Amino acid sequence: MLLPDTHFSHAPSHDDHRTMIIAQITDFHIALPGERMDRMFRTATFLETAVEHITSLEPLPDVVLATGDLVDRGIPEEYERLRGILAPIGVPIYVIPGNHDDRDTMSGAFADWDYLPGNGRFQHYVIDRWPVRLIALDTVIPGKISGELCGERLQWLSDRLAEEPDKPTLIFMHHPPIRSGINAMDRHGFDAGAPEMGAIVEKYSNIERIVCGHLHRPVTARWHGTVLSVAPSTAHQMGLNMLEGAKQQIVMEPPACQLHLWQPDTGIVSHTSYTGRYEIPLSVELP
């Protein structure tokens, strides 16, 4: 049974709406207890730590974006476990699918979160309750690791951007439409639609950020007149290896979330916030 939806019950932390903090968490890969991802990479434990981190932030973020690969096999039981882990987060959480998710199972598992389109449809949507307009894209190709934006999804994005050409806007999507230089990941990157998306994006000067997951490490690029960034996973990371032909390598570099702070005079400033404990063991007083 799914836990009750509590995350809309708290007021946003910035009621005056002069600033906005968008927390981004990604690539949780939640599996069932005792399964390989759970045993080897402790993905559920790492997400619990990330949730503790977010709920202890001062001020709290206004929203949390979860940018795909929420679970590992896309089965209902994994989403049920995921919801239990996310339950302490008291602000709205906006989810999109990654290549490890099942689009329909995900939308069914979060059906009571009122923003998701129903089963059988692309899980893209717009949230327009805050100073920054949030546009969620669905880049999934069922059965494939790589992603795409087909003609229907590109048209949908073009139509949504045309609705509000002046309001600060953030786009979030799982697969980054760039070649990162990490060849092992780029082989499973973006199959189709990246140049076409770029041609749409570059018509607009109000797109503050495009934020993505999938690469399991922090990456930033200039892209068609905006800034594109990739957040690290809340659990395991991918090794930084730019050699041609290199194989995928999982490394346990520190997990993190990203905090995208929007202020009217600066636009978005992004911070990588590590989600473990890194205190100095002794009390040290700086001069």
Piece of 68-76, 82-90, 108-116, 159-167 that binds Fe ion (CB under 5 A)? 68-76
Closer by beta carbon to Fe ion, 14 or else 188: 188
Closer by beta carbon to Fe ion, 37 or else 116: 37
Using rule CB under 5 A, residue 102 touches Fe ion: no
Quote the least distance from Cβ 180 to Fe ion, whole Å.
14
Closer by beta carbon to Fe ion, 175 or else 224: 175
Piece of 62-70, 86-94, 163-171, 278-286 that binds Fe ion (CB under 5 A)? 62-70
Structure-token match 């990588």, residue found:
272
Quote the least distance from Cβ 251 to Fe ion, whole Å.
14
> Scanning residues 23 to 42, which ones bind Fe ion (CB under 5 A)?
27
Using rule CB under 5 A, residue 69 touches Fe ion: yes
Quote the least distance from Cβ 161 to Fe ion, whole Å.
27
The site for Fe ion, by CB under 5 A, has a size of: 2
Amino acid of residue 158: S
Quote the least distance from Cβ 29 to Fe ion, whole Å.
6
Closer by beta carbon to Fe ion, 134 or else 215: 215
Closer by beta carbon to Fe ion, 27 or else 78: 27
Quote the least distance from Cβ 277 to Fe ion, whole Å.
24
Quote the least distance from Cβ 264 to Fe ion, whole Å.
34
DSSP letters along the chain, please?
Answer: -PPP--TTSSPPS-TT-S-EEEEEE----B--TTSHHHHHH-HHHHHHHHHHHHHT-SSPPSEEEEES--BSS--HHHHHHHHHHHTT--S-EEEE--TTS-HHHHHHHTTTSTTS--TTS---EEE-SSSSEEEE---B-TT-SSEE--HHHHHHHHHHHHH-SSS-EEEE-SS-SS--S-HHHHTTSEEE-HHHHHHHHTT-S-EEEEEE-SSSS-EEEEETTEEEEEPPPSS-EE----STTPPP-EE-PPPEEEEEEEETTTEEEEEEEE-S----SS-----
> Scanning residues 235 to 264, which ones bind Fe ion (CB under 5 A)?
none
Q: Which residues of the chain form contacts with Fe ion (CB under 5 A)?
A: 27, 69
